[in-house]
């Protein structure tokens, strides 16, 4: 799973974890504890520094299940599935069918929205409109 330059071969890893549930479980058993330690360390540093708000970017928040009780609020950035697929294709260079497999293995849009306290619909809006929404949300978070 390592490329010749020492990096993770994401395509090969993706193919394995989406075709073999036991491989996905093994990968999560390796990665999640390390991520958890880093999150705890950075959160503690932020609190010691007097941060009034700590933001966690948790792509699989709904799937992991254990985050909700640990968070004060959940902000979901939402878009249509077609936009989601197009964005991932553009960012990662994946084919549409590959992206659909990944999306199908994740929580549904309905589940993500149900977990949200606040939602930003980031589809077909201008950067100015997005900036306005983020400022409004910032005030709701006391920023």
pLDDT one-digit tens code per residue, 86-108: 999 999 898 999 899 889 888 99
pTM score, whole prediction:
0.78
DSSP letter at 2? Answer: B
Element (H, E) at 138: helix 127-140
CA distance 85 to 131: 23
CA distance 112 to 63: 9
Given a cut of 80, whether residue 143 has pLDDT beyond it is no
* Assigned token pair, 61: 């928040």
pLDDT one-digit tens code per residue, 3-48: 999 998 888 988 888 888 899 889 989 988 999 899 999 999 999 9
CA distance 42 to 70: 15
- Per-residue pLDDT band at 69 (split at 50, 70, 90): confident
CATH top class, domain 53-143: alpha beta
CA distance 46 to 41: 9
């Amino acid at each position: 799973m390592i490329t010749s330059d020492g990096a993770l071969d994401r395509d090969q890893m993706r193919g394995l974890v989406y075709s073999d549930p036991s491989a996905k479980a093994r990968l999560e058993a390796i990665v999640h504890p390390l991520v958890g330690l880093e999150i705890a360390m950075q959160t503690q540093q932020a609190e010691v520094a007097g941060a009034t708000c700590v933001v966690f970017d948790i792509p699989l928040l709904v799937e992991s299940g254990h985050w909700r009780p640990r968070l004060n609020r959940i902000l979901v950035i939402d878009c249509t599935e077609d936009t989601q697929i197009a964005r991932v294709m553009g960012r990662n260079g994946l084919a549409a069918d590959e992206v659909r497999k990944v999306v199908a293995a994740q929580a549904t849009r309905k589940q993500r929205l149900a977990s949200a306290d606040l939602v930003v619909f980031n589809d077909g809006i201008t950067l100015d409109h997005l900036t306005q929404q983020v400022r409004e949300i910032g005030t709701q978070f006391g920023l």
